[in-house]
């Protein structure tokens, strides 16, 4: 099964236009829709898309912003932007998706939210971003209950798969050392996960972490590892 594609973008009109042409070569229709999700009402985007595609069955919340700052260095503006794009937009898009396409319909649909495997950690150096992704993870579970049985809501939490262009090979090698499977993931790993979610009609409210085990790689301190002299009572 394949889908017509409503492709949202913000600033990358050239990339969106190229994507449209490539997607159309696959034999489906594709239209591109511009919206700045940090400032506009996401409900308007759904209305615009519905006018062109009244048969939307899948919503993928992939748009995301990332600003690194500790709590001590986070401005209200940064906090608001992280939450506007990473939480408020998926929230309002999911609401509009459900109300527009499923309220008076017996058909089934699904929402897939894109998270980050860092939701397993408390890395305060990008506090606002991390908190927004943790919120989106909880939203995934809440929405799965509210919109069942018509709409399944799941999420994918990628690890080291598409690092930013600024990341050096030394950095990536260092990160891989912390991954139990000792390798960087590939986009194909995420696509297989999306295929699994799309085709699994008995799965909802789940977060599938695709990170080689990095997110579970924290044992915590314990007595077996302790080599100190004052451990006589433990």
Give the nearest distance from C-beta 200 to other proteins in angstroms: 12
Residues in the chain: 234
Give the nearest distance from C-beta 92 to other proteins in angstroms: 11
Give me the sheet containing 207-210, strands edge to edge.
Answer: 109-114, 151-158, 207-210
Residue in 30, 200, 2, 204 with CA at minimum distance from that of residue 113: 204
Residue in 214, 234, 211 with CA at minimum distance from that of residue 222: 234
Q: Which is nearer to other proteins, 63 or 127 (CB)?
A: 63
Q: Which is nearer to other proteins, 19 or 124 (CB)?
A: 19
Give the nearest distance from C-beta 67 to other proteins in angstroms: 16
Give the nearest distance from C-beta 52 to other proteins in angstroms: 7
Give the nearest distance from C-beta 15 to other proteins in angstroms: 4
**CA 33 distance to own-chain centroid:** 19
Asked if 126 and 134 touch (Cβ cutoff 8 Å), the reply is no
Backbone φ and ψ of 30, nearest 5°? -145, 135
> Which single residue is written with the structure tokens 């990536």?
172
Q: Which is nearer to other proteins, 148 or 191 (CB)?
A: 191
Distance between CA atoms of 190 and 184, rounded to whole angstroms? 12
Backbone φ and ψ of 202, nearest 5°? -115, 20
Asked if 28 and 5 touch (Cβ cutoff 8 Å), the reply is yes
Give the nearest distance from C-beta 230 to other proteins in angstroms: 50
Point out which residues bind other proteins (CB under 8 A).
1-10, 12-13, 15-16, 19, 22-23, 26, 28-30, 32, 37, 45-46, 49, 52-64, 89-90, 93, 97, 114, 158, 162, 187, 190-191, 194-195, 198-199
Longest dimension (CA), the chain: 73
Q: Which is nearer to other proteins, 124 or 189 (CB)?
A: 189
Q: Which is nearer to other proteins, 37 or 120 (CB)?
A: 37
Q: Which is nearer to other proteins, 164 or 220 (CB)?
A: 164
Rg of the chain in Å (alpha carbons): 20
Give the nearest distance from C-beta 94 to other proteins in angstroms: 11
Q: Which is nearer to other proteins, 59 or 130 (CB)?
A: 59
Q: Which residues 6+ apart lie within 8 Å of 82 measured at CB?
A: 65, 67, 128, 129, 131, 132
């Amino acid at each position: 099964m394949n889908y017509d594609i409503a492709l949202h973008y913000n600033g990358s009109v050239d990339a969106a236009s190229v994507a449209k042409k490539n997607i159309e070569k696959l034999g489906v229709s594709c239209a591109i829709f511009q919206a700045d999700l940090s400032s506009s009402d996401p409900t308007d985007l759904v209305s615009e898309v519905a006018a062109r595609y009244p048969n939307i069955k899948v919503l993928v919340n992939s748009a995301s912003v990332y600003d690194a700052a500790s709590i001590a260095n986070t401005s209200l503006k940064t906090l608001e932007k992280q939450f506007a794009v990473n939480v408020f937009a998926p929230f309002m898009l999911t609401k509009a998706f459900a109300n527009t396409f499923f309220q008076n319909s017996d058909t089934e649909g699904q929402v897939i939210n894109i998270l980050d495997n860092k939701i397993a950690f408390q890395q305060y150096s990008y506090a606002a971003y991390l908190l927004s992704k943790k919120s989106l993870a909880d939203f995934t579970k809440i929405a799965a209950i509210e919109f069942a049985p018509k709409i399944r809501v799941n999420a994918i939490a990628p690890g080291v798969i598409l690092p930013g262009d600024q990341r050096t090979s030394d950095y990536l090698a260092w990160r891989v050392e912390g991954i139990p499977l000792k390798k960087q993931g590939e986009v194909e790993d995420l696509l297989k996960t999306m295929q699994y979610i799309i085709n699994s009609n008995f799965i909802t409210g789940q977060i599938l972490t695709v990170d080689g085990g990095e997110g579970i790689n924290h044992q915590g301190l314990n007595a077996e590892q302790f080599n100190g002299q004052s451990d006589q009572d433990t």
